[in-house]
């Protein structure tokens, strides 16, 4: 026996009430997105978004259209347990792939809802509304399927289950175009016949297209891919909202879709990448040739101990720290905060330089630095700090690689070519903390390692930074 709350509340609340609550929730989501645009207001933004989602869930649960809560409670409890377990165990370094796989869930749900709606309405809908419903179902299923399969590939690349190198082949763009046109053709066939086979075929084609759109995108562009898939998941949710007649789902899906598209465009512009190129699966791109492969074995580099770095840092007047994925892996952000405080006490000016795609997803480094309570006014984006490297005594690069690689400016055969980098190489002295000479996520050897003013400090980021702090205290 299920607890039928809907029948209890149906006498108290009208459709206008639910519309008003959904409108308030949408406004709170907008405030949430606005808050997330700055580290200073991010916590408040999260609060607004959580409040909006809470209102939306409660309003949906008491809606008169809900006839039974058995499956709803089961889904809420099971999903809550799984989500809580993942949230408690996940590390910051694993957040990008977690986001990618969550996007796949949104896409899969859109597909399942479209298919389920078809079966529940088959034979019971009048001809006048059949074509409209068919287009809603086909669009929801197509967008959802592309989001699902594309997100699975992104997860595989981020998790290291498959190579991060772009997979390109002759005729791939013509194949993608053919598949895209085929999807619309079968959408039209489905709208005219309302039979299951066209819907199934267009869904399968969309799944294949999702794979083919993400496979050609290399590791250097994965942060943009994560943002783009976020946009896709939003449009999939909006399409599902039309199918279900849920205005809140339409509005929130559109918010997520449009904000994700805007973020993707901003990141593409910051990386000097073509927005259309990324959307179409690296259209116009080509696989990197052998000249961009790691070549460390034939080059000479210098290495330094933590004591050497400590001496240079404490005798500098200006230091810029460049955090990267290696800092996230080692969870070294709190050690970096201690280094920052130690140098500030000695009168050294310390700033942090953040590249738009440092880490594996947008804002990855900003979140880590905020977690360790590093002041926001010391953290600068690429365009705001790049001009200062030439007047900097020491640049300390902690676990970053591709975002400081001069090959992006000098090597036209490199997959990084054209991407703006942090000009750390212009500093008087550069120290790079790395575990080994292994190249970065893009699989490209870093020319900076062989510059005269650069020295490598090998080891775990957290242990190295702690050793540097200890050496400063003991000097």
The two structure tokens encoding residue 129: 């509304």
Between CA 278 and CA 276 the distance in angstroms is 6
Between CA 338 and CA 316 the distance in angstroms is 17
The two structure tokens encoding residue 222: 């994965």
Q: Which of 392, 394, 363, 393 shows the shortest CA–CA distance to 379?
A: 363
Buried residues in 187-208 as b, exposed as e (16+ CB within 10 A): bebbbeebeeebbebbbebbbb
Between CA 439 and CA 451 the distance in angstroms is 16
Q: Give helix then strand counts, H and E, for the chain.
A: 18, 6
Between CA 287 and CA 164 the distance in angstroms is 12
* Catalytic status, residue 402: yes
Catalytic residue from among 65, 126, 402, 423: 402
Sequential DSSP letters for 202-218: HHHHHHHHHHHHHTT--
Asked whether 180 and 143 are in contact (CB, 8 A), the reply is: no
Residues with Cβ within 8 Å of 396's Cβ and at least 6 positions away in sequence, in order, are 309, 313, 319, 320, 321, 322, 431, 433
Between CA 353 and CA 380 the distance in angstroms is 5
Any alpha helices (H) in 215-246, and if so which ranges? 222-244
Between CA 200 and CA 190 the distance in angstroms is 10
Asked whether 356 and 270 are in contact (CB, 8 A), the reply is: yes
* Residues with catalytic function: 402
């Amino acid at each position: 026996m299920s607890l039928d709350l809907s029948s209890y509340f149906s006498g108290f609340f009208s459709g206008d009430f639910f519309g008003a609550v959904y409108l308030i929730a949408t406004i709170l989501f907008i405030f949430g997105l606005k808050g997330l645009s700055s580290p200073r207001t991010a916590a408040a933004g999260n609060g607004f978004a959580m409040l909006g989602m809470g209102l939306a869930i409660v309003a949906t649960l008491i809606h008169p259209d809900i006839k039974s809560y058995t499956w709803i409670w089961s889904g809420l409890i099971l999903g809550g347990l799984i989500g809580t377990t993942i949230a408690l165990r996940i590390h910051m370094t694993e957040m990008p792939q977690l986001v990618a796989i969550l996007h796949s869930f949104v896409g899969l749900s859109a597909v399942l809802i479209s298919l389920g709606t078809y079966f529940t309405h088959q034979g019971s809908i009048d001809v006048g509304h059949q074509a409209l419903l068919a287009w809603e179902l086909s669009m929801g299923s197509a967008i959802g399927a592309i989001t699902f399969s594309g997100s699975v590939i992104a997860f595989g690349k981020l998790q290291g289950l498959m190579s991060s190198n772009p997979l390109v082949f002759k005729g791939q763009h013509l194949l993608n175009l053919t598949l895209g046109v085929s999807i619309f053709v079968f959408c039209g066939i489905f709208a005219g016949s309302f039979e299951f086979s066209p819907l199934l075929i267009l869904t399968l084609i969309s799944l294949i297209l999702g794979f083919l759109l993400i496979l050609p995108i290399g590791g250097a562009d994965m942060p943009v891919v994560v943002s783009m898939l976020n946009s896709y998941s939003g449009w999939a949710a909006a399409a599902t909202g039309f199918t279900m007649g849920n205005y809140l789902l339409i509005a929130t899906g559109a918010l997520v879709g449009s904000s994700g598209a805007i973020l993707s465009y901003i990141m593409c512009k910051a990386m000097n990448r073509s927005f259309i190129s990324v959307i179409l699966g690296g259209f116009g791109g080509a696989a990197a040739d052998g000249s961009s492969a790691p070549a460390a074995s034939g080059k000479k580099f210098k290495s330094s101990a933590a004591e050497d770095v400590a001496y240079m840092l404490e005798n500098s007047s200006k230091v810029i720290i460049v955090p990267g994925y290696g800092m996230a892996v080692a969870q070294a952000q709190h050690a970096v905060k201690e280094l920052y405080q130690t140098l500030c006490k000695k009168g050294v000016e310390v700033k942090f330089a953040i590249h738009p795609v440092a880490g594996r997803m947008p804002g990855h480094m900003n979140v880590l630095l905020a977690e360790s309570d590093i002041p926001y006014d010391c953290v600068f984006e690429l365009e705001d700090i790049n001009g200062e490297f030439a007047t900097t005594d020491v640049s300390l690069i902690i676990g970053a690689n591709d975002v400081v690689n001069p090959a992006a400016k000098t090597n036209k055969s490199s997959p990084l070519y054209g991407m703006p980098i942090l000009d750390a190489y212009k500093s008087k002295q550069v120290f790079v903390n790395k575990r080994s000479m292994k190249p970065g996520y893009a699989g490209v050897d870093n020319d900076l390692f062989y510059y005269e003013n650069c020295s490598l400090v090998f080891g775990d980021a957290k242990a190295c930074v702690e050793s540097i702090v200890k050496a400063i205290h003991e000097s």
